[in-house]
Amino acid sequence: MTDLPRADRIIAECRMLAGMSEEHGRTTRRFLTPAVAAVHGHLRNRMLALGMTVTLDAAGNLRGLWRPDEAGARRLVMGSHIDTVPDAGAFDGVLGVVMALELVTSAKANSLPLAVEVIAFSEEEGVRFGLPFIGSRAVAGRFDSKLLALEDAEGISLEDAIRNFGLDPARLDEALVDDEAIGFLEIHIEQGPVLEAEELPLGIVTGIVGQTRCELTFNGHANHAGTTPMSLRRDALAAAAEWILAVETAANESEGTLVATVGKVKAEPNAGNVIAGSVRLSLDLRSERDQVREEAVVGLLDRANAIAARRKLTCHTKTQMQQPAVPMDEQLTAVLAESVEAAGFTVRRLPSGAGHDAMVMATRLPTAMLFVRSPGGISHHPDESVIAEDLEAALAAGELFLSRAAGTLKL
């Protein structure tokens, strides 16, 4: 690997780590499984070879600290997650850890007087316990001990999973990042098509969108498809279809400030010759502007009730999640944008439509996030990929960021 350019080495390393999996032939790596331990073994060796001090906190986050003799006590934190969804690609999350280690390698080679902590977060996807961001919650001081009672599909509690990994859940509070850490940078694939559509290698994340998830149920009356006149029907599926189109129209009319998705529909009795008596469906609304999202939620739920009333149905709604938007830190993001421009690349600012560890870390530290183009906009899929030239661009911008951050943030 050592004779390859940096970007090619990074790609090869990510693909090698993808083979550390719970399942043969595909990448699946859940919180604190043996596959995570295998990744820890590799990353620990990488960190030790760089002269970093390596620790494993009680949430299973692997942490490496590079502190050159001439550096002060304060440090910059970088990293991302190493868990995956089932049948994942090779780059979601882990790329950010490998890139951070490459930037430490560069900082060491160039004698940059900057302390850097690299964190491989143990859990972000929420696959094993249905709870995302376990790793970064602990680091940011946002882990609620009540969560230890959560159980996975095998009936193993979160507390027992931590113990089974050789860690002590009573020491979770010690995972909190201390006051010497003054900023966090996450490098991550975009997981979307915007940068590719604009032929750009990098994007500056302005914030992570707020999200509302709801469940709606239209209740009508099931009846015979052949004998019930159209004027006498109380068709729940027709009402749901009308409302789904209203959701799409509302998002299109928002001029890009809102995305809206109905991704799940369940009709009863779900027979080809029976009018649907009830339909349960989902609503996912996201926007970087909370007011836009909140107004859209009210408008669309009102529209659902109006459709139901006109069609002589009832409509019941349940809000499942309300997550406000999380802006990135203006100063740190400005430094990142200056670094991208100084490296010779277009500064493209865009929100993240997906959640990331950065949104949790932003509650504790000034946070910035750099996107790398996702070919085909593909993620959470084995075909997920990156372009070597884009990684070289990210490394160039990252090196300038570290140099500028050291001065601007008075590390």
| 270: Cα within 13 Å, side-chain hemisphere | 6
Each residue of 94-144: pLDDT tens digit? 999 999 999 999 999 999 999 999 999 999 999 999 989 999 999 999 999
Each residue of 27-41: pLDDT tens digit? 999 999 999 999 999
- In total, the chain counts a number of residues equal to 411
Each residue of 341-353: pLDDT tens digit? 999 999 999 999 9
pLDDT band (50, 70, 90) for residue 1: very low
| Class of the domain covering 6-208+325-408 | alpha beta
Average pLDDT taken over every residue of the chain: 95
Structure confidence at residue 257 (pLDDT): 85
The residues spanned by each domain of the chain are 6-208+325-408, 210-323
Structure confidence at residue 406 (pLDDT): 79
Query: Is the pLDDT at 410 greater than 90, yes or no?
Result: no
The predicted model scores a pTM of 0.89
Phi first, then psi: give them for residue 72, nearest 5 degrees: -80, -175
Each residue of 198-228: pLDDT tens digit? 999 999 999 999 999 999 999 999 999 999 9
Structure confidence at residue 72 (pLDDT): 81
Average of per-residue pLDDT across 249-276: 95
> Are 6-208+325-408 and 210-323 in the same CATH fold?
no
pLDDT band (50, 70, 90) for residue 73: confident
pLDDT band (50, 70, 90) for residue 407: confident
Each residue of 297-319: pLDDT tens digit? 999 999 999 999 999 999 999 99
Each residue of 362-373: pLDDT tens digit? 999 999 999 999
Each residue of 147-200: pLDDT tens digit? 999 999 999 999 999 999 999 999 999 999 999 999 999 999 999 999 999 999
| Class of the domain covering 210-323 | alpha beta
Structure confidence at residue 2 (pLDDT): 44
Q: Are 287 and 257 in contact (CB under 8 A)?
A: yes
Q: Hey, CA dihedral for 90, 32, 54, 401, is it positive or negative?
A: positive
Q: Which residue has the higher pLDDT, 406 or 388?
A: 388
Structure confidence at residue 358 (pLDDT): 97
Bridge partners (DSSP) listed for residue 217: 280, 316
